[in-house]
Each structure stands twice: as C-alpha cells, then as structure tokens.
Amino acid sequence: VPGKSELDEMTAAKQISDLDSLSARWQRQKDLREWEESRLTGWSEQAEIINGRTAMFFLIVGLLTELWTGQSIPEQVVTMARVGGFI
C-alpha cells in the first residue's frame, strides 16, 4: 500500500519512549514557568494578611476622622488631594 509504513516493535517502543521523555521535559518547563509567574504576580498569604490589616486600619481612621470632622470619606480624599497639590 503506497504511503503506508510499518514499524517494528523495537522502533515503536523507542518512539514512545522518546515522546514520553519529551513530554515530561515540556511539562517540567511549563511547571517551572508557572511557578516563576506565580512568584512574581501570585497570591501570597502573608501579603494578603498585611493588606487586609492595613485596609481595616485606614477604614477605622477614615471613620474616626469622619466622626471628628464631619467630612465623609470621599470628602477626606478630596481634601487630601488638595493639600497634596493634586487638585
């Protein structure tokens, strides 16, 4: 039959072995690339804890400032922008 080639068992086993090792190498490269990306931009438990604590601290500061000055939080942001020279 034209275009049809037959492989003996030895050649087929070698090709399967080569493809398996190539697939494993590509998987390792993919895993390493994903790990590097997650280190640079990924979620970190410690960073999230610090972020949450900081947000809660400044929310309380904003609410206490609103209580003492009568300015709402958006008004406080505008005031800070004016004092900082941004507006």
Banded pLDDT at 27 (limits 50, 70, 90): very high
Question: Residue 64 belongs to what domain range?
Answer: 44-87
In this structure, the answer to whether residues 16 and 26 fall within a common structural domain is yes
Residue 21 lies in a domain: yes
Model confidence, pTM? 0.47
In this structure, the answer to whether residues 26 and 57 fall within a common structural domain is no
Distances from the Cα of 63 to the Cα of 23, 35, 50, 53, 58, angstroms = 57, 40, 20, 15, 8
pLDDT at 5 > cutoff 70: yes
pLDDT tens for each residue of 39-77: 777 677 888 899 999 999 999 999 999 999 999 999 999
Based on the structure, what is the number of domains in the chain?
Answer: 2
The predicted pLDDT at position 44 comes to 76
In this structure, the answer to whether residues 37 and 53 fall within a common structural domain is no
The predicted pLDDT at position 30 comes to 96
CB hemisphere CA count around 48 (13 angstroms): 5
